[in-house]
């Protein structure tokens, strides 16, 4: 099965950026310990200091579902959400990868389309 990415677009409440980053980091440390989790990252929009984008690689959709259904998930995500005005999560199938200096590698999606 293809790799899956979880992403989130976070609009942080004014003056809460530092505590948001701290809360997200605590959440990500826990999430990255889950089976199937890869590196989790948080980026800040250079044009809007209140806008952050998180993204993380997962082995497959089953790993993501197990993480999101873990008993602690709601409590832990709530610790991050208390600092945001808006949150837009998504799950993305990785359909192509290109490493520096290499050719693009196309992946099959779940429907088997290349």
What does the angle CA 28 – CA 44 – CA 49 come to, to the nearest 5 degrees? 130
Name the CATH topology of 4-106.
Alpha-Beta Plaits (3.30.70)
pLDDT in tens, 34-85: 999 999 999 999 999 999 999 999 999 999 999 999 999 999 999 999 999 9
CA distance 96 to 54: 19
pLDDT in tens, 3-30: 899 999 999 999 999 999 999 999 999 9
Domain locations in the chain as residue ranges:
4-106
Please determine, for residue 111, whether its predicted confidence score (pLDDT) is greater than 70. no
Mean pLDDT of the chain: 90
């Amino acid at each position: 099965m293809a790799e899956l990415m979880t992403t989130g677009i976070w609009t942080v409440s004014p003056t809460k950026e530092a505590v948001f980053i701290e809360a997200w980091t605590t959440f990500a440390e826990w999430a990255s310990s889950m089976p199937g989790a890869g590196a989790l990252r948080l980026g800040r929009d250079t044009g809007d200091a209140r806008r952050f984008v998180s993204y993380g690689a997962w082995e497959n959709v089953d790993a993501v579902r197990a993480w999101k259904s873990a008993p602690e998930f709601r409590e832990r995500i709530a610790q991050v959400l208390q600092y945001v005005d808006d949150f837009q999560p998504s799950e993305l199938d990785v359909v192509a990868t290109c490493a520096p200096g290499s050719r693009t590698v196309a992946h099959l999606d779940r429907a088997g389309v290349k």
